[in-house]
Structure 1
Amino acid sequence: MQNVQSAMERLRGLATASPVAELAAAFEAAGFELALVGGPVRDAFLGREVTDLDFTTDARPDDILRIVAPIADAHWDIGREFGTIGARFSGETVEITTYRADSYDGTSRKPVVAFGDTIEGDLHRRDFTVNALALQLPALTLVDPSDGTKDLMEATLRTPIEAAVSFGDDPLRMLRAVRFTSQLGFQLDIDSFDAIVELRRRILDISAERVRDELVKLLKTDTPRAGLELFVETGLAELVLPELPALQLERDDAHRHKDVYEHSITVLEQAIALERERNPGADADIVLRLAALLHDIGKPKTRRFGENRKVTFYNHDVVGAKLARKRLTSLRFDNDTMKSVSRLVELHMRVFNYEGAGWTDSAVRRFARDAGPELQRLLILIRADITTRNQRKSDRLLFAIDDLERRILELQEKEELDSVRPSLDGEQIMAILEIAPGPLVGKAYKHLLEVRLDEGPLEHDDAKQRLLEWWEANRP
């Protein structure tokens, strides 16, 4: 947290740069108020990089368009019904929104938009005091009607109005509170916590898409643990992602098994660290992070107690893959994300066979083939899945994974594993066997693919001979 003087210096520099200064001059000339609001002001106080420029004004949408159109490189009014106009200036995207005084009917998933007349009224309707800050332009006057700067200094999340009223107005704010604890590293104040616990079922009034987007934003933060723990503690997870709190299996001396919930969050943290190490500067990999968080969600349904109360979770990977697909479907994730996450969950145990006995070239090829485009994510996930405190066991597992990666790399360089296919294609198979297109061609192709995985690439004549041998045994 920077002091007020330093923060104001940052804001002053931002306000005198384009496009902020250009917009401030244009709105002043047109006789309207304009203020930089919310995240940019908050982040200036926190010493964080300012990435989004959001403005608020007393101008109505038609007036905003009239002012912005002559000076912007592009503009759009996709959010016009909510009073928001977007524009682009030299590659910089901005949003300008008319002062709002939203109201909710208690059952609708969307606010009833009502435009306001004062900036103070607009700020009071925002989610948290740390986001209810504005810098009036071009005067550079800080507007803070709910002591947001004090909460910034104390690293506290608090609502500008009574928490129960705020969350009742827009239940999505409960998930935003969860996300901000991780994104900003702040603590939620007790009144807000209690209000979320009391009103948690109102999250069911929010569309699955909006809930999904908040969950994704939480998982994209650098340190999502605090938010996930609050997610579970408030009871929101039970309604949004019930598989997560279900991982809190009881622990006692008799059962002696891992705390699967704690393990899963640790795996997520380790996956994020490996993701940064292997892909520095890249955007957060939401597929990998979802897979890390959900990789063991099949354990509660597959837990069994054997001799001496030994706990097993046989087939939890297969069960977990089905549960992951079902949950991601209900949260309206796209098909590619659902497919990739469920595949990673299904495959995350495959590597542990290697640690026990080592793999043949055939097994390595099949591992790479089964992982397909998810191979690199899968290798990160299985590394992150090592959370044992037994150093010897950890070293042994990591050595096995290092060796497997080396073997995959060697075979990739030698055999082009990324595009494993038989030495003969469908046209060649039909010509050699003198058959027409049909199921037999597919069966022959599949046989040659198995040979390829077992033995590696074959010369054309060798592949032809293997095909003819198969044909002798399988011709109709």
Structure 2
Amino acid sequence: MQRAVAELVPVLPLLTDLGTRFAAAGHELALVGGPVRDAFLGRTPPDLDFTTSASPDETEAILREWGTATWDMGRDFGTIGARRREGGTETVVEVTTYRADAYDGVTRKPVVAFGDSLEEDLVRRDFTINAMALRLPSLEFVDPHGGLGDLRDRVLRTPSTPEVSFGDDPLRMMRAVRFVAQLGFVPAPEVLAALREMAGSLEIVSAERIRDELVKLILANHPRAGLELLTESGLAAYVLPELPALQLEVDEHHRHKDVYVHSLIVLEQAIDLEGPADGPEESVPGPDLWLRLAALLHDIGKPATRRFEGGGGVSFHHHEVVGAKLTAKRLRALRFDKDTVKAVARLVELHLRFHGYGDGQWTDSAVRRYVTDAGPLLQRLHRLTRADCTTRNARKAQRLSRTYDELEARIEKLLAEEELAAVRPELDGNEIAEVLGIAPGPALGRAYKFLLSVRLDDGPIGKEAAADRLRTWWAEQEESTS
């Protein structure tokens, strides 16, 4: 308790002030949930959640006197927000009236009923580690469901039975998986059994809510444990069915038990290649959602492209192309934004490109195309490609690493010499129109693409040479249509 309070020292004046104000008005106030859990874990809570016996109107009246602004976070759900500015410091709080929710099991919208006690509020929370509270201003510790013991034992349990808890809100099953990844906890046997039994009820939860939990899972410090639970419990079948499907496929190099294990290892290795959170953009500061999703999904095209070859071999031709399409489809279904869908699918599509490099036989033209095809995703592609090497053959791994070192060196040299990051034809649209004597339209677009290919194949050749090549190409186009 002393260590937990020590973590709360920076906010103790706030806790004491608010607790005293609510008590003076005849109401209870408690710090509850994640902030209490984090304090016992030795972490200063990033957010503060309060619960109270006061009604939303009573809470608003107290917070109006305390802060410089208040707002309705969801009055029907009992939550009022407030802001207080002192000097250069701004403090934001949210206070929710004791709840005794029930869900109708169909729409996932809670039927709100305000509770009468802190204990009644705590029993409706998702896990025992989040069902601990500190009464304010006394700092009395309230733990009716043994959350502190479960925190010590790193076990996930529910205040009520798991069936009741998950039945109230099936998204709590995704939260269980996320806490495994974030906190390194393991589900209690009865929780794991309920996850398996009730996985199908996740179908009634909106894609947006599932996506948000999946993102938190992917961005956790150790997402592999959470993803393994997601698969083992059967939840993945309703969230990311492409993941368990990989267990059926043998990696073509026979390096791993299955492609599923390989994909999890690639994810871990990609995380290791992320830059520090405050690093420059080119270091791909972690946690990076696009890189991690691409690492996890890079081989999901293999089940659809598996072919058994003569001699017992297995091939997955064009699985990167199929995988890119499947990636885009799944991310759209989960309501990811367009930029994320496009970027992750593109990384999946390009993840095998390096393997055509061989022992360095690529021309400068091929290197230029590698860079321009990757565009702003180049640094992520570097890390994804390196992470995809999971061979246990140390000599082979070293050779692949040296070869990619050489490719990166060539890329840096060409980037410095030719500004490939912003490669353009050496004639702009107006100049092309003037050389050919044509107006803007489809023909001008084709001419632009032709000069871009010249730039990629031959590098900078100068405006006059580019104009000559353009005229020759244009004459050939006219001959072919005459």
TM-score band, normalised by the shorter chain? Answer: over 0.9
| Residue in 1 that maps onto 2:238 | 239
Secondary structure, aligned partner of 1:76? strand
What residue in structure 2 maps to residue 388 of structure 1?
A: 391
Alignment-mate amino acid for residue 22 of structure 2: F
In structure 2, how many angstroms separate the alpha carbons of the residues matched to 1:467 and 1:251? 50
Distance in 1 (CA, whole Å) between partners of 2:251 and 2:451 is 52
Alignment partner of 1:97: what SS?
strand
Match of 1:87 in 2: 82
Q: Is the Cα contact below 8 Å between 2:64 and 2:70 reproduced in 1?
A: yes
- Paired position in structure 2 for 1:146: 145
SS of the residue corresponding to residue 358 of structure 2 reads helix
Q: Does 1:359 align with 2:354?
A: no
1:7 aligns with 2:4: yes
Say whether 1:468 aligns with 2:471.
yes
C-alpha distance in 2, partners of 1:290/1:359?
29
Secondary structure, counterpart of 1:69 in structure 2: helix
Residue type of the alignment partner of 1:7: A
Match status 1:78 vs 2:73: yes
TM-score with structure 1 setting the length: 0.94
* C-alpha contact (below 8 Å) 2:132/2:142 kept by paired residues: yes
1:273 corresponding residue in structure 2? 272
CA distances 1:4-37 after superposition (whole Å, capped 9, x unpaired):
33224434x24523x3333223323333221111
Contact 2:251 2:257 in 1 (8 A): no
Change beyond 3 A, Cα 1:381–1:236 = same
Q: Is the 8 A contact 2:17 2:137 kept in 1?
A: no
Indicate the residue corresponding to 1:309 in structure 2: 312
Pairwise CA distance, 1:256: 7.4
Distance in 2 between residues matched to 1:329 and 1:79, nearest whole Å: 29
Deviations 1:264-289 (A, max 9, x none): 01111111111135964945211111
1:16 corresponds to which residue? 12
Aligned pair 1:127/2:123, yes or no? no
State the alpha-carbon separation in 2 of the partners of residues 367 and 130 from structure 1: 49
In 2, are the aligned partners of 1:302 and 1:314 still within 8 Å (CA)? yes
Task: Indicate the residue corresponding to 1:162 in structure 2.
Answer: 161
Contact conserved, 1:134 with 1:142, CA < 8 A, in 2? Answer: yes
Q: Which amino acid aligns with 1:415?
A: E
Equivalent residue runs for 1:87-236 within 5 Å: 87-89=82-84, 90-236=89-235
RMSD across aligned positions (CA): 2.0
**What are the superposed Cα offsets for residues 238-264 of structure 1, whole Å, 9 maximum, x if unpaired?**
121110000102669997765110110
Distance change (3 Å), C-alpha of 1:260 and 1:277: farther
The amino acid that maps onto 1:375 is L
2:249 and 2:325 map into 1 onto residues whose CA distance is 24
- Determine the C-alpha separation between the residues in 2 that align with 1:243 and 1:134: 40
Distance 1:72 1:354, change over 3 A: farther
Structure 1 residue 98 displacement after superposition:
1.1
Displacement of 1:373 in angstroms is 1.7
Gap regions ≥5 residues in structure 1: none
In 2, distance between residues paired with 1:184 and 1:95?
24
Q: 1:38 to 1:449 in 2, by over 3 A?
A: same
8 A contact 1:422–1:449 mirrored in 2: yes
Q: How many angstroms apart in 2 are the aligned matches of 1:86 and 1:346?
A: 45
Residues 149 and 255 of structure 1: CA distance in aligned 2, closer, same or farther (over 3 Å): closer
Q: Which amino acid aligns with 2:15?
A: V
- Kept in 1, the 8 Å contact 2:255–2:391? The answer is no
Amino acid of the structure 1 residue aligned with 2:189: I
Alpha-carbon distance in structure 1 between the residues aligned to 2:65 and 2:417? 59
Which residue of the partner structure matches residue 439 of structure 1?
442
Q: Which residue of 2 aligns with 1:348?
A: 351
TM (norm. structure 2) is 0.93
Within 5 Å, give how 1:7-86 maps onto structure 2.
7-11=4-8, 13-17=9-13, 19-86=14-81
Deviation at 1:203, TM superposition (A): 0.5
What are the superposed Cα offsets for residues 56-113 of structure 1, whole Å, 9 maximum, x if unpaired?
A: 1112222222222343344332333221223334334332111110001222222111
Aligned residue for 2:458?
455
Q: Distance in 2 between matches of 1:262 and 1:255?
A: 12
Instruction: Judge conservation of contact 2:195–2:233 (CA < 8 Å) in 1.
Output: yes
Asked if the contact 1:15–1:137 (Cα under 8 Å) also holds between the matched residues in 2, the reply is no
Give the CA deviation at 1:210. Answer: 0.6
The aligned counterpart of 2:377 is: 374
SS in 2 for 1:318: helix
**CA 1:252–1:395: 2 relative to 1, 3 Å:** closer
C-alpha distance 132-257 of structure 1, shift in aligned 2 (>3 A): closer
Does the 8 Å contact 1:243/1:297 carry over to 2? Answer: yes
Unpaired stretches in structure 2, ≥5 consecutive residues: none
Shift of 1:139: 0.7
Name the SS of the counterpart of 2:144 in structure 1: coil
SS at match of 1:423: coil
